[in-house]
Structure 1
Amino acid sequence: MQFLRIVVSSIATLFLLLGCEKNIDINFDPPDIKPRVDVKLPDADADLPNIFSRLDIQFSKNKIQVIPPLDDQEIDTLEQQLPCKLPPILRAMYRWHNGIVDFTPTYEFQALDKVVEEYKFFKRFHKENGLKEGEGWPAHFLPILQFNGKMYVALDCKDQDHTPLFSYFIEDGTPQAMYRGPGHLLQVILGSYETGAYKREFDLMDRDPIAEDKVFRQYAFASELKTMERNWVALEKSLTTTQGDNFNSVTGYLFEVPDERGIPILVDQLRDADAEKIVHICLALGGLKSEKARPALYDLLKHKSSRARNFSASALSELRGPQSQAETDTLLRLLEDSDKLVQLSAIEALRHAKSYRAIDTLIDKLHRSRPGMQVYIIDTLADIGDRRALPALKELQASFPAKLDNTRYGRTRGGDPSPTDFKSSVDEAIRRFGQY
């Protein structure tokens, strides 16, 4: 499940970690999920000036940083250091912008000099470690998009008439088709921005996988749509027939096959589910970001298991729709839960909903909490942006001594920060209020 490994949301990452805790039955037959992209089909015939113009509007709207373009001579110089010529669409992209920091919620569009640098690194690494052709990074892959130095979308340039893009996870080494070419990539990304599948949430770019999948389907060929429907049928069968720990594993495939038809199946599976199964279902429901999951997640806030309460609140924090008054009130009560992790997840859910009704309760909680909890509350107050919180933050700022301990702490979730980091969080929150 390569796509699982390149999802950057905390829910997907945590899902993988939890999935590794359980022993899966060796006789378990996972759903047979095929790549939804057929790389033998042609790239999209993209209207580049129109796409670039509309994307620039979205970048401005979402405060996305772009790097000034290259001219033809600069591109020629860098291109000579690569194993092939850049396809015309990719060349046009570098004449548009020489890199885009948050090109998608997952990936950065790399500057061409960075592409050259990383390609040379892979080539040198292969030579130093005696890797043969076909081992490690493919010689004809250009690392166009990257995340975290390990996850890439690479353009296959071995055939100038046909240049598909593949996801490539360094620690796996198995390419997986993502787009039929740069034109297809641009169409899907533009559609995702304009439909709201991609948008900025606070200081990060956010991705709605179901909405993104709907955009992808608009630009898919009939054969690709047939493959996607076949994938859903295979996944649906596994979701409805698999039992025990194997079911927890199957829910992860919903990140590869994001489909709202999976929501009622997951909700139905909550009946008589133990805490561990509830955790995996919450991770899947939160990762899919569908508002259809909200009622079921709200009910779990009152569950007897603290893990169920924790992960349901965390999943609610991933949803984009408004909170009801009843949901807000329940989350506020969870600020006094016996489990600290439940309290933190409730704070995050209030933060993502920008709940103005929570301000007074959060300020009261701020005065009664340790620094690790206070940092979560401070960030939440700053994100909500209600100026009623400003006096409490300034009071906290004034309480710091002139000289602070600069020691860096290794922190767990909700663990206390160093005094320097703590003050920095307070200072940054107050600074942000000056921008409202």
Structure 2
Amino acid sequence: MRHLTTVAIALCGALAATTGPAHAQTFNSSSTGADGAFNPTTNTTLALPATGLFNFTTVSIPSGITVRFTRNAANTAVTFLATGNVSIAGTIDISATSGGNVVGGTFLGSNAGTGGPGGFDGGNGANGVASNTGGTGLGPGGGGAGTGAGFATTGGVVSATGTPGALYGNAELLPLIGGSGGGGGSAELGSTSAGGGGGGGAILIASSGTITLTGTINARGGNGGGGNNPGGGGSGGAIRLVATSITGANGTLDVRGGSGSSGIGVGSGGGSVGRHRLEAYGNTAAVNVNNIPPSLAPPSAVALANGPTLTITSIGGVATPPAPGASFTAPDVTLPASTTNPVTVALAGVNIPPGTAVLIAVNGQTGGNTVTSTTLSGTLTSTTATASVTIPTNRPSVVSASATFTLVATSGAPLYGDGQLVVSRPR
């Protein structure tokens, strides 16, 4: 098994990254250039296409200009590919929003923070109607009631009773996954506790030329809502820059997690930091990384070849849509009133080894989640599995599945990562 080489660095608020002679090596971003040059002159919000992919020729974001994104139905990460140079003097913002604060009445809607593109939403605060326990944040590192979401580390916990979010993902950021949501606070009937912060988004910027960073890329997790029963913070997101060379001074990569809060006798946990990675043959960038060590390496593929996918194909015998939205307010699947628990969830995997364990999580809009394990069977190119789960009957739920396995390099090909995480978007 061959591992990617990384560079040890010392940090003091900023990163000055330098690699050795490049020997005229170049990197190909694989951009088609079909979307032309991207040169915004005013603050801009881009609607993400279904794939999340933009094929630019060049990118130039001037100082004072902020670029944000509207999530697509599948909530994919953002991918900028460029045939030429990329200059970021302004701001790219894929941060999450914070959870709503405690309110004095019974609020029946959602007060969870929203994840950035490629990140996951926070948990809702409890209102005492369906449950006194706050909702678990969405995503593979979702925080339990009042706790922070995990990502590069486990989530934080202060005095809330929920289980903090787990560590997940890898330094290579293959596949590219954002931060998870913090847990909502718990409450009794008559008040509504605070929502958990959303998870920071995820972005890949790949240039066949030079990336010059003098501005900011924000992928922060959302703060947990405040009040007597506060919510947990969402985890920071993911930023991956790949180019022939990376340069620039005083730029910022921000993948900090959202903060928790303090209530009367109860404190909520903060979210984990996210992950960031810089890949180039020549790297002379001086970047502020908020004392969060990034990973450094030569350029590698922008995406996994024959990338693995894991899909929930049906729940209770009802087929899932091609692009589920994983929303509590607009269900992807409506089960017949005659449905009884347990309910069968069917899964399909592609390019995932048979024998791989899959975890199926059921997150109610409030209340703790349940996690069930099953095993994929079949061949590498086509595996299937089923599992029996219990779905709450008095509130909407989001069902998600994840699998972790190891990829091994063969025939001299690059190794993309150990403990590779594959996540189906919540169905």
Q: What interval of TM-score do these two structures reach, taking the shorter chain for normalisation?
A: under 0.3
Q: Which structure carries more strand by proportion?
A: 2
Could you tell me the TM-score, scaled by structure 1's length? 0.22
Larger CA Rg, structure 1 vs 2? 1
Structure showing greater relative contact order (alpha-carbon pairs closer than 8 Å, 6 or more residues apart): 2
Q: Which structure carries more helix by proportion?
A: 1
Could you tell me the TM-score, scaled by structure 2's length? 0.22
